[in-house]
Amino acid sequence: MESKFNFLLFILYISIYYWGDMLKIITFWIMISQFIVLTACHSREDADQLKNITFPDKTTEQQFKNWYTGNNRVLLDEYRSYLAKYLKNTPNVFQLSYNQSNELKGCEQYQFTIPPKQYWKNIINSLKLIEKLQMNGLFDHYRIVHAYSPKQANACFSNAIESKHDSNSAVDIQLLNEQQQIYHNQGTKIKELCQFWIEDGREYRMGLGIYNNDTLHIDTLGYRTWGIGRSTKRSPCLVDD
């Protein structure tokens, strides 16, 4: 009787031992399956975020995709979702983080940036103003080429001591036609923008900078304008025909 009892205890022990291993195996595969599902979901989300983006070139596209991972992706998606609560057409994740520069060498770490959360709200009025300009028919489309950049980046890119970009308050854009190309009649578009600035700019505290490379600076931090070399006198809005 005792031997039978010992045998049953042995069988019970073996069953518990192997069943314990089986539970470990089942738990392991459940975790693996969840990881695969989450990875697939993130991959689809990334693809959805990127599928309608027009990149300047293949190199920049690959650089952004390499950067747009992990915490960068999570925080940038959160930033875009935050802005979407206030805007009718929220810029894509690439435009919200990209800093275009002809002098990127040595400043590569600032090619893509995300503003600190305390600065997120600062850009809303400037983007709303750009939406109004587009809605008023002053241009068909636009492309953001510079939004937020920290002080170190501004110094690296242009040796600028002060910039509205380091508080995420300004946006540099290029005006695009229906085909998403820069206007051939850029001068006409600039005149129309200047007219808006003259007539309505004060109401929006509109800052309008017009540069020679088809790039415009827009903010809502004070009624003013400037042109090449950041000179007020060289603004097309103040030059008589």
Average pLDDT, the chain: 84
β-pairing verdict for 216-219 and 207-210: antiparallel
pLDDT at residue 36 in the model = 59
pLDDT of residue 230: 82
Instruction: With beta carbons less than 8 A apart as the criterion, state whether 98 and 112 touch.
Output: yes
pTM: 0.78
For the cut 90, the answer to whether the pLDDT of residue 28 exceeds it is no
Q: Helix, strand, or coil here: 38?
A: helix
Q: 55-238 in CATH: which number?
A: 3.30.1380.10
So what's the pLDDT on residue 105? 72
Share of the chain above pLDDT 70, in %: 76
pLDDT digits (tens, 9 = 90+) for 57-78: 899 999 999 999 999 999 999 9
Looking at residue 134, what is its pLDDT?
Answer: 97
**Where is pLDDT greater, at 234 or 128?**
128
More confidently predicted of 76 and 186 = 76
Q: Max Cα separation, the chain?
A: 115
What are the tens digits of pLDDT across the range 3-25? 555 555 556 565 566 566 555 54
Average pLDDT over residues 41-59: 69
**Mean pLDDT value of segment 187-208:** 96
Q: What is the pLDDT of residue 3?
A: 58
Q: What is the pLDDT of residue 41?
A: 46
Whether the pLDDT of residue 131 is over 90: the answer is yes
- State the DSSP string of 149-204: --HHHHHHHH--S--GGGGT-EEEEEEE-TTSSB-TTHHHHHHHHHHHHHHHTTTT
Domain boundaries, the chain: 1-51, 55-238
141-146, strands of its sheet edge to edge: 141-146, 170-176, 216-219, 207-210, 224-226
Six-digit token string for 236? 């097309």
Query: What is the rounded CA–CA span in Å between residue 20 and residue 66?
Result: 42
- CA–CA distance, 215 with 143 (Å, rounded to integer): 10
pLDDT score at 71: 93
Cβ 222 vs Cβ 207: under 8 Å: yes
Helix (H, G, I), strand (E, B), or coil: what is residue 207?
strand
Alpha-carbon gap, residue 76 to 196, rounded angstroms: 32
Using the predicted structure, report yes or no on whether residue 174 has a pLDDT greater than 90: yes
